[in-house]
Amino acid sequence: MLRSVLLSGLLFYTIPILAQRVAVNEDGTAPAASAALDVKSTTKGFLWPSLTTTQRATIFPPANGLMLYNKTDGLLQHYFPGGGWRSFINNDYWLGFTGTVYNAAANIGLGTSSPLEKLHVSNGNIKITSGDLLLGRLSGTLQKIEFDYTGGSSNNFAQGIDYRTNSASRNAYINFVASTTTGEDELRFYPSVSSTHLFNVFSKGEYRFSASAVSGPTFQFRSNNFNIGFFQIAGDDLRMGTNSGNSVGRVVIRNAGSDNVVISEVSGEARMGIGVTNPITALHVNGDVKVLNGITVNARTTAANIELSSGLTKPLESAAQLVPFCYGSVYADGTARAVTPNATITKTSTGFYTIDCPGIDNTCMVLVTAAENRHLANCFSIGTNSMSISVFLDRSTAPPAARDSDFCFVVYKRY
């Protein structure tokens, strides 16, 4: 029976053997000069040895480059020196480079027959599942992910990086938006699924937070996993300072390398130092203080409200001096005893007198004295070119009554 099978096979195949070369074919041609085994057929294929993974494990030691078909995995495999068994690529996209994958000048093109890089993907996406995209360089300093838009000058064209969870909806993303109308390109950061970007960086150098995207946008500074200081928008307010857990931190404004303004809190009391690094009062100033209006000090039970290391001075407002320009001595009946020629005195009623003098106004200073004992004279009204004088008994009489009295007056004017 065995002889019949062998003879039947030889009727269909010719196996020329030349030296150490073998040819298996149907036309009797000799094996190729460079092939140890030359199999030729137009109707049949070559069948690899077929083993299960368990059967493959009985081959020991496998020769480097040994090939077989693994029935368990359904893959062609070969033994790689030092690396064990490896599978050949078995995917329709790679079979024969069918128009999807191209190999040109050591570059691989997916969807393009003219790849410009080692891997060039055209009109498609790249997806990595359960892995990372790693960029490494053997030399040089430049590593980058580059977006190259060549579709024209469309306004507000966006290129972005999306972040997703479980391959579902987008969780966060970064967009670059090119504007051809304003010339103000921007980089937008969306830290959530909100359609409003929280943070923008503009090409002209502006950095912008969007308070409508999140309530109270904050720049938070941390050290050793603790919140230290912050900048924050709260309604229409801009807040800056140290966090509640940072009880010893100060807010410091520096200029030319020096701590010029320091704000701190000691025992619940807010303190500000100007020119002082450790203020000991609510306001501690090392230098001069200039006040253009007034200083109001609330009443306190301590010995002093204001502590001065030198003195309290008021700078001259101008070089002008107060000069007496209208003065005199007047009898009780309103007649002049000795009065400057520019003054006219009129008695209007008991204890009341009017003095008319061109140039009097509410910037003048008036000094009035009564000649009678226990009588008080004062200027109770001053207007334009005129003022009114009154004389009363002292406050020991209740109610105080107006009395006629001799008096003297001096009107000072600033020149």
What pLDDT, in 10s, does the model give residues 298-332? 655 444 556 666 666 666 655 567 889 999 999 99
Whole-structure pTM over 0.85, yes or no?
no
Radius of gyration of the chain measured on its C-alpha atoms = 52
* pLDDT tier at 93, thresholds 50, 70, 90: very low
| Residues 193 and 171 placed together within one structural domain of the fold | yes
In the numeric block, the tokens 């200081």 are attached to 229
pLDDT band at 95 (very low <50, low <70, confident <90, very high): very low
Tens digit of pLDDT for each residue in 158-196?
788 877 777 667 778 888 888 877 778 888 887 776 667
Least confident stretch, 64-73, 128-137, 166-175: 166-175
Same domain, 193 and 231: no
**Would residue 37 count as lying in a domain?**
no
d(C-alpha 311, C-alpha 317), whole Å: 18
- pLDDT above 70 coverage of the chain, percent: 81
| Among 173, 116, 171, CA closest to 148 | 116
Cα gap 215→233, rounded to integer Å: 8
Q: Is residue 134 part of a domain?
A: no
The domain containing residue 280 runs over which residues?
Answer: 250-286
- What is the Cα–Cα distance from 391 to 375, expressed in whole angstroms? 6
**pLDDT digit string (tens) for 231-250?**
888 888 888 889 988 888 89
Tokens at 67, concatenated:
């090939």
CA triplet 152, 153, 158: central angle to 5 degrees? Answer: 100
Whole-number Å distance between alpha carbons of 403 and 377: 10
Domain boundary among 87, 105, 137: 87
| Contact between 109 and 122 (Cβ < 8 Å) | yes
Q: Note whether residue 270 is domain-resident.
A: yes
**DSSP, res 286:** S
Residues 221 and 187 in one domain: no
Residue 105: CB partners within 8 Å, gap ≥ 6?
none
Residue 201 shares a structural domain with residue 180 = yes
Alpha-carbon 109 to chain mean position: 41
- For 82-134, the DSSP string reads TTEEEEPP--TTTTT--SSEEEETTEEEES-SS-SSSEEE-SS----SSS---
Task: Quote the CA–CA distance of 232 and 219 in Å, as a whole number.
Answer: 6
Tell me the two tokens of residue 291.
């006040």
Q: What angle do CA 370, 376, 382 make, to 5 degrees?
A: 85
Q: How far is 159 from 174, CA to CA, in rounded Å?
A: 8
Distances (CA, A) of 309 to 236, 272, 285: 40, 18, 11
Higher confidence at residue 258 or residue 195?
258
**Ramachandran category for residue 29: left, alpha or beta (phi over 0 → left; psi -120 to 50 → alpha):** beta
DSSP-assigned letter for residue 365: E
301-333 as b/e: b if 16+ CB within 10 A: eeeeeeeeeeeeeeeeeeeeeeeebbbbebebe
Does some domain include residue 125? Answer: no
**In this predicted structure, which of 75-84, 121-130, 137-146 has the lowest mean pLDDT?**
137-146
pLDDT (0 to 100) of residue 139: 76
Q: Are residues 234 and 254 in the same domain?
A: no
Considering the domain architecture, whether residues 355 and 278 belong to the same structural domain is answered as no
Structure tokens at 104: 């040109």
Report how far residue 359's alpha carbon sits from residue 103's, in angstroms, rounded to the nearest whole number: 105
Question: Lowest-confidence range among 283-287, 292-296, 369-373?
Answer: 292-296
Any domain includes 180: yes
Q: Counting beta carbons within 10 angstroms of the beta carbon of residue 356, is it exposed (0 to 12), middle (13 to 18) or buried (19 or more)?
A: middle
Residues 6+ apart with CB under 8 A from 240: 229, 230, 231, 232, 251
Tally of structural domains, the chain = 5
Q: What is the maximum alpha-carbon separation in the chain? A: 170
Query: Is position 202 within any domain?
Result: yes
111: in domain: no
Residue 277 maps to a domain? yes
Residue 347 has pLDDT above 90, yes or no: yes
Are 196 and 268 part of one and the same domain? no
Q: Are residues 327 and 410 in the same domain?
A: yes
Q: How much is the pLDDT for 260?
A: 92
Mean pLDDT along residues 278-289? 88
Q: Are residues 240 and 210 in the same domain?
A: no
Contact by Cβ (8 Å): 184, 203: yes
Instruction: Note whether 79 and 66 are within 8 A (CB).
Output: yes
Q: Answer whether residue 92 shows pLDDT above 50.
A: no
Q: What percentage of the chain reaches a pLDDT higher than 90?
A: 27
Predicted confidence band at 201 (pLDDT cuts at 50, 70, 90)?
Answer: confident
Give me the residue label for tokens 């999140």.
214
pLDDT for 338 equals 94
How many DSSP H helices and E strands does the chain contain? Answer: 2, 30
Same domain, 210 and 223: no
Mean pLDDT of the chain: 81
